[in-house]
Structure 1
């Protein structure tokens, strides 16, 4: 009945039905407890007002008797029952409060987990799209409280329906027209709620990007990433004013909508109040005419009030569900995002040992947010045990090639194979477990030094020996040994007793993560840019000795390091323009030779 009403009236998909399934999945026991309390709390008011009628009637009779002491004995049992009903009502209200809070917390945490899972599984492409961030923002706003609110409203609708049916049964005994008047009186309020629910929904969607801009400005003012520059360039007040201007615009628009809604509500409530007052006048007239007893007047008046409240609660729940249904579209807009990098139906096993290596065959790639190709017909090979280097100016497509190799994207044209098998034929998880990558924008985890390195291979149990070995290879061990708690020291200043590291020291931690991973292909994308040339040279000397049968791809602007590679590919604007070893490229006297000579002059 409930879903049919909304579907027939608004012709919209019923998003709250799958949301209720999520509510059930989050905590079946709390959901059952909630339903039981709804039924009990819906029935209790009927018993309470009926006991009030019996007490009033008995008091009226007692006043006409001479032996009032005997009459009091007849009233006492009724008072005891009424007291028990009051205590029961209070008890179940307290239980309801407990169950509601506990259940809501469970649902909120469960929904946040779903948002996090979807965010993790979404293709990297979405993180380079402003519309994705709009969808994520709206989903994050709705996910924590919309499903619990739906349950609250359904609970209120159920409880109100039970109470309403009981009250209507009483009021029908007085006059059938009262029921019709109650429903007519409630219609204006429902229409106002539904109209402004739609207005608020469309306004919030329209202003999502403005909200995100304000949040970004707030983040700029509070994040340690920008603290130094904001103070050096005196940007704090500038950002604060821009933030205040955006929030003021949002405030004025929102208050304008709410003000119109409040005046409309006032008019609707006045109309409803006049209808109800007319019914009460009719009841008083019937009592004065002797048709109703005094107890009947109390009974019917209470039934009228509770019936009106129950009807108001039911219709408020219906209109609220319409509002929730609108806003849940935001949540499912995000949850319905589909991956373009698909898992193979029948994954091929990854080779235990590389035989022929990695081959890029005429690979082209274009990001979805631009018409310009990032990669144009690139072909290269990485043989087992070989170290190749990718060289080129910023934006030439080097990092994009690595993203394609890790299958964070699929090529627009061409193919990438490992031992002759297309990357698309491997399980994404297995493929990534055999490739170890450290990007230039490596992550800084505010965990212990041990945890920071262990994150490089969480599939294996923590092993202090392997962690220390990886740290020694990257040069991080000396840094960690100098910290107050050694490997148990929390890195960064976000938490108590945390120790901040320099950029170069953070890079060594990130390198240790890459060395810890037991993979057949290692990719280092500008991983030592913050190190001095001597430290970088030592790292790569150790690296060459370490990899043995592993294959490696090195991206670096320091050509003194790059020349140690077995083979070098030079890129420019997404094209592969030169290739060969260091001596071949120097003899070619092309772009690579020019870059090398330019850098070499700085050291002469």
Structure 2
């Protein structure tokens, strides 16, 4: 019966060979040539050993010159073999590094290409983990196995011709005694791959627990709540379960290997008994016996290596399937075939028209028929309880996702008609979970606009707008100071200072639309007032969206949209919403009551 899965694995081998060739053609060619030569040299050495023994055991006294010449030839082959092996090891290392870098290049480009929805999916995270851990070295292994297979086949072919000339039944018997080893190794490769897939989630959990114990982000809480031993024990329990599965698999393989290797040894020693009998009855010479026995041993070793290479090819093809599946993933945020040109200048009028959104693996809609218009140049605020959909609206506006239903337009054009890359250049955004890059201050701010960062004074101006220039001046190397404690010499900042850096990053981009998600959540009241004043300056002439739970922060907005249960339930100015005495008024009075209680 036609086995499509085996054909698919052969196709994976072919793709891996193409990948290695593309990443390191010169190294692959040299590596392959060296291994083929190394496959032939042992056969030549074996034949010289036969000649030496036959010469020494000849009835006539041999001339030293004839033996010396044979020994010199054997020595030359041995030295050449050692040199070529050393050279091949160096070439193999070059090839391995080139392939690893090429695979990382493919992985990173695909990771950049895929949209945010994939990264919020645990199944995708499992597949990504498998691709990242296996792909960098598996293609080079496939080439090694393939070349080793060819090298062993060449050597085995030469030895087989030698043995067939003596006794073809002996050669066939050797092969049959070794064949069970191949079946055992192929079965183990299948089992290992199957178990490996089931281990991935546990391995990622163990890695996460290790991060909690070893990284700074959770160091304070781990110590304050006494979580260290608890988390360590959970890590050890996971590692134990994985280890037990691995050892069970290893025991299974050991049993199979012991049985098949015993059969192989029985075949070789049976052949030795046959050779000894042939020598005793003078059917062959002592030199023939030595050479044929060495050929049998060498043939057994080559067959073992040949089967190991074949099983290795099969195993690596199985493991690389996840990598190639990862490369085949397509973004869910589809690019238009012919993108619309973004109007310049962009006015920035934003309309949400009956927008509904469900997260791919969610169980309920996050947004339900949202209708909302933000006029060009208007400063609006989005408020609502946690989970109301405020940040989701921003993600849709940034085209990190597309609406499940409805559409979003800017200046009358559906966002889906723009190139997502070009559209995102029109937005400066600070998310609540902003990035804290372990680079210099200049790089942290400069990531906001990779073009503007090279213009004189732009980074410093962005820092002044966010209020970060004050503490930057006090850092040891100013804008060239390394931030964070991940690398030596780094300076750690407070959360509020990191937030000011993030705001400076958004301010650097001269985008017509600016979005701040909880921009003052980590700031003290004085710093909050300064940031809001600077926000007014940054937002001048732009369409601005502010998300905040502090309702005192949103009073300065031209209009406030109140979200509740995935819908816009109220909109208006601060004064208008208070007069409605609805959801917004209830939230505002609740916060005001808290402040009055504290003052009393």
**Is the TM value for this pair above 0.5?**
yes
Instruction: Find out whether 1:518 has 2:513 as its counterpart.
Output: no
2:334 aligned with 1:342: yes
Aligned to 2:192: 200
Structure 1 residue aligned with 2:79: 87
Residue 322 (structure 1) aligns with: 314
Aligned partner of 2:491 among 484, 499, 506: 499
Query: Which of residues 33, 36, 60 is equivalent to 1:64?
Result: 60
CA distance in 1, matches of 2:509, 2:26: 42
Report SS of the residue matched to 2:366.
Answer: strand
Shift of 1:262: 0.5
Q: Which residue of 1 aligns with 2:546?
A: 554
* Per-residue deviation, 1:115: 2.1
Cα distance change of structure 1 residues 435 and 346 upon mapping to structure 2, 3 Å threshold: same
- What does the per-residue CA deviation read over 1:360-391, in whole Å, with 9 as the maximum and x for residues that have no partner? 11100001111210001111122222111111
Q: Does 1:305 align with 2:297?
A: yes
Confirm or deny: 8 A CA contact 1:350 1:426 kept in the other structure. yes
Q: How far apart, in 1, do the equivalents of 2:134 and 2:537 lie? A: 53
1:183–1:8: structure 2 CA closer, same or farther, 3 Å change rule?
farther
**Residue 41 of structure 2 corresponds to which residue in structure 1?**
44
- Report the Cα distance in structure 2 between the residues aligned to 1:260 and 1:542, rounded to whole angstroms: 68
Name the residue aligned to 2:351. 359
Q: Deviation of residue 356 (structure 1)? A: 6.2
Counterpart position of 2:173? 181
Query: How far off its partner does 1:603 sit?
Result: 4.5
Q: TM-score, normalised by structure 1?
A: 0.95
Conservation of the 8 A alpha-carbon contact between 2:381 and 2:554: yes
User: Equivalent residue for 1:578?
Assistant: 570
- How large is the Cα RMSD of the aligned pairs? 1.8
1:464, distance to aligned residue in structure 2 (A):
4.8
How many residues align? The count is: 595
| Contact map agreement 2:356 2:367 (CA 8 A) in 1 | yes
Q: Secondary structure at the match of 2:194?
A: helix
Partner of 2:444: 452
Gaps of 5+ in 2: none
Q: Which moved more, 1:384-393 or 1:115-124?
A: 115-124
Cα distance per residue 1:280-303 (max 9 Å; x no partner): 222222222222222222222222
- Report SS of the residue matched to 1:160: helix
User: Counterpart in 2 of 1:483?
Assistant: 475
SS class of match (1:442): coil
> How far apart, CA to CA, are the structure 2 residues paired with 1:220 and 1:420?
47
Post-superposition offset of 1:467? 0.3
| Aligned pair partner of 1:24 in 21, 24, 46 | 21
Residues 356, 420 of structure 1: 8 Å contact kept: no
Following superposition, the deviation at residue 545 of structure 1 comes to 2.6
Cα offset for 1:330? 2.4
TM superposition score normalised by structure 2: 0.96
- 1:520–1:550: 8 Å Cα contact kept in structure 2? yes
Give the counterpart of 2:211 among 219, 229, 232.
Answer: 219
Cα deviation for residue 11 of structure 1 reads 5.4
CA contact (8 A) 2:348 2:543 kept: no
Question: What does residue 464 of structure 2 align with?
Answer: 472
Q: Is the 8 A contact 1:438 1:510 kept in 2?
A: yes
Give the Cα separation in 2 of the matches to 1:260 and 1:464. 67
For residues 442 and 355 of structure 1, the distance between their equivalents in structure 2, rounded to whole angstroms, comes to 27
Which of 376, 400, 404 is matched with 1:384 structurally? 376
